[in-house]
Structure 1
């Protein structure tokens, strides 16, 4: 991975962490039976994971550039 790829993925993780916490704060699960949204840590970490994966889709591979 290039430095640009790490930066894009890192930005996605930060955006996901913020979105995960905001989801917990605004919507959340008050009963405590929801595995992900019942605790702020779980929701925040899950959001970070999803954000990193989502933003990683926009990283172009160096193999694709070499083949063209």
Structure 2
């Protein structure tokens, strides 16, 4: 696999775990928070953010 894909997948996994842990520890008990009121939303959002953040560290080759 490509180094860019592997790094992005690692970011998605770490972000998803962090999102779920955020839901467990902090979360929104009243249900009015769109992202943190459900574990699925929090996990998916964390995975998206983790993938985007880790994707920033991939160096692209310069075209000459």
- TM-score normalised by L of structure 2: 0.95
CA offsets 1:33-52 (integer angstroms, 9 cap, x no match): 00000000000000000000
More helix by share: 1
After TM superposition, the runs of 4+ consecutive aligned structure 1 residues lying more than 4 A away are none
RMSD: 1.2
Q: Gaps spanning 5+ residues in structure 1: where?
A: none
Q: Gaps spanning 5+ residues in structure 2: where?
A: none
* Structure number with larger C-alpha Rg: 1
- TM-score normalised by L of structure 1: 0.89
